[in-house]
Copies of this chain bind each other. A is one copy, B any other.
Amino acid sequence: METHIRNSFDKQGLMATLSARIDSIDPGRVVISAPIVPQTSQQHGFAHAGLTFALGDSAAGYSALTTMAEGSDVLTAEMKINLIAPADGTRLVATGEVIKPGRRLVITRANVETEYADGRRKLVAVLQGTMVPV
């Protein structure tokens, strides 16, 4: 499954454009991170909500994929994000988890933290949404 997920990830042009990488893959739990750089910022130099969403959604989606049959693929049906603090660090780290696996719908959530240069982390966003196998 890990190879399948890494192959899928490598085909996502946006993840490469965002310099995102997979940090870990475990059953029902995937961590994806990316640097906060001028190319992915909003108007104040913080990480753009689009980056935060993209990482959180991808981590949630791949966490769902770890619960599906080998060879499956996954699409986001819907996702809700609450942005709770400015992403003013140097790196965004998204942890996706499966709340409830299922054959037709997989319910997921993700936390996105910003990491500062000194290694401290702060929660910047929480996501909750539905993945569908295809």
Contact = CB atoms under 8 A, between A and B. Distances in A.
A11 B42 CA distance: 7
Interface in A1-58: 8-9, 11-18, 37-44, 48-51, 53-55, 57-58
Contacts of A84: 99-100, 102, 107
B82 A107 contact: yes
A2 to B, nearest CB: 16
Nearest to A84: B100
Given A80-B128, A82-B78, A40 B57 contact: no
Interface of A: 8-9, 11-18, 37-44, 48-51, 53-55, 57-58, 73, 75-85, 99-100, 102, 104-105, 107, 109, 123, 126, 128-130, 132
